[in-house]
Structure 1
Amino acid sequence: RQGLTKFPRLSSILVILLEVTFPSGEIIGGHESKPHSRPYMAYLQFVAQGVQKKCGGFLIREDFVLTAAHCLGRQVTQRPMNVTLGAHNIENQEKTQQVIPVKRTIPHPDYDNQYYYNDIMLLQLEKKANLNPAVQPIKLPRSKDKVKPGKVCLVAGWGRVAPNGKYPNTLQEVKLKVQKHQVCERSNQEDTGSVLPLLSSQGDSGGPLVCNHVAQGIVSCGKKNGKPPRVYTKVSRFLQWIKETMKSHQVQETD
């Protein structure tokens, strides 16, 4: 089954270390993004068991957003969900914003909620997004792409600006540097070949890890005690599933 390998392969582990600074009021090691400079970013909102939930995501086609399967929790079933595109300040009704309902949630069929294997999900939108400078899809990697040590990547989101701190209204971003390390081995993290274990800040789950303008990873989860490393789903391992899933639902709409 694609993307599911339960044997550790520590030689393929990548660790991304923060270039850490602590400016007041900013995401740890980062800063507020230039408004609408990350036009692929998506903000997800839905209600689960009477509680307002939110997650990150990113546009990969006019009618599809990619995110993490664990955003839906244990019950990966259809729930009312809206996707906001073109946002910078999520508390303002910006003219650039497009709020589109989700037509279909499609978690990976082999998603494991206990260990977060295959933590990836497609969201089919009710209608195509109107592409403009503030709303644009991001490129996906090639199947053989590798994130090499020394590469500087970026994570953006509306996550906490400090441990146990408040959530910002504006999009924040932080740069991360890829290094070889055995952090995951020491932290009892297992590399399944479909994840990238990293050290990062409290970004929104489901958001992208962007390297050279390509979405190489999806913010998945950290250790259960909330400490690093943070795990990212490796997008390149799921390209076939992504393409086949989008194609199959497109065909269904035209039948």
Structure 2
Amino acid sequence: MNGRQLIITAAHCVILSQDTSSYAVVAGEVQAAFFGMGQARNVAQIRIHTGFDMPANQNDIAILTTDRPFYINKYVSPIRLPRKNERVGSWGVVSGWGRISENGPSSRVLMKAKILVGPDAQCKRNLPRCFCAFYNDLRWN
């Protein structure tokens, strides 16, 4: 979540149906089917990167706008997007209910992973139209 109504997601998650009524956004919850402290919102608009290329897995980003703002509290807060030239070697976090294995089921519990910020030049050379991060060290795998 960036701001109170903008959701950043992968374009491949919404490309098959751009019907906004097909989606809902839940924030502040760690279990996919449980709404204890979470807030649910309908999706009002879907914007997919104009350069999205599914076969090449490039520009895989979309912005969802919710029908109304989320209430910011101890369970729901916006993310801080990385700055240009973020410090190499600093840690970031990615999270989601995505698939837990290739072609496997989606997780029922919110998953997260720590990632390392890599050098911009190395990322642009190897993955020019993708988000680039490293798993546990700064060597290119």
- TM-score normalised to structure 2 length: 0.72
Deviation of the 1:173 alpha carbon? 2.6
Distance 1:172 1:194, change over 3 A: closer
Measure the CA separation in 2 of the matches of 1:158 and 1:71: 11
Question: Are residues 1:127 and 2:68 paired?
Answer: yes
- CA RMSD for the aligned pairs? 3.1
Query: Counterparts of 1:136-215 in structure 2 under 5 Å?
Result: 136-142=77-83, 144-146=84-86, 148=88, 150-159=89-98, 167-177=106-116, 190-192=126-128, 194-196=130-132, 198-199=134-135
Measure the CA separation in 2 of the matches of 1:145 and 1:63: 26
Write out per-residue CA displacement over residues 90-144 of structure 1, whole angstroms, 9 at most, x where no aligned residue.
22221x11110000000112212221221111101011111111111111222x2
Question: Is there any run of 5+ residues in structure 2 with no aligned partner, and where?
Answer: none
**Do the aligned partners of 2:115 and 2:133 also contact (CA within 8 Å) in 1?**
no
Distance 1:126 1:197, change over 3 A: same
Question: Is there any run of 5+ residues in structure 1 with no aligned partner, and where?
Answer: 1-58, 185-189, 201-228, 230-255
The amino acid across from 2:110 in the alignment is: L
Question: Are residues 1:63 and 2:5 paired?
Answer: yes
Measure the CA separation in 1 of the matches of 2:5 and 2:118: 35
The amino acid across from 1:146 in the alignment is: E
Measure the CA separation in 1 of the matches of 2:63 and 2:30: 22
| Secondary structure of the corresponding residue to residue 61 of structure 1 | coil
Structure with more relative contact order (C-alpha pairs < 8 Å, separation 6 or more): 1
| Secondary structure of the corresponding residue to residue 60 of structure 1 | coil
Measure the CA separation in 2 of the matches of 1:178 and 1:141: 9
Distance 1:111 1:166, change over 3 A: closer
Measure the CA separation in 1 of the matches of 2:65 and 2:110: 23
Aligned residues: 132
Distance 1:64 1:179, change over 3 A: closer
Question: Are residues 1:109 and 2:50 paired?
Answer: yes
**Identical positions, percent:** 27
Measure the CA separation in 2 of the matches of 1:177 and 1:140: 14
- TM-score normalised to structure 1 length: 0.43
Measure the CA separation in 1 of the matches of 2:101 and 2:53: 29
**Do the aligned partners of 2:43 and 2:66 also contact (CA within 8 Å) in 1?**
yes
The amino acid across from 1:107 in the alignment is: I
Distance 1:171 1:194, change over 3 A: closer
Write out per-residue CA displacement over residues 209-238 of structure 1, whole angstroms, 9 at most, x where no aligned residue.
xxxxxxxxxxxxxxxxxxxx7xxxxxxxxx
Measure the CA separation in 2 of the matches of 1:118 and 1:162: 22
| Secondary structure of the corresponding residue to residue 70 of structure 1 | helix
Distance 1:139 1:195, change over 3 A: closer
- Is the radius of gyration larger for structure 1 or structure 2? 1
| Secondary structure of the corresponding residue to residue 132 of structure 2 | strand
Distance 1:132 1:197, change over 3 A: closer
Deviation of the 1:77 alpha carbon? 2.9
In terms of fraction of residues, the more strand-rich structure is 1
Distance 1:172 1:197, change over 3 A: closer
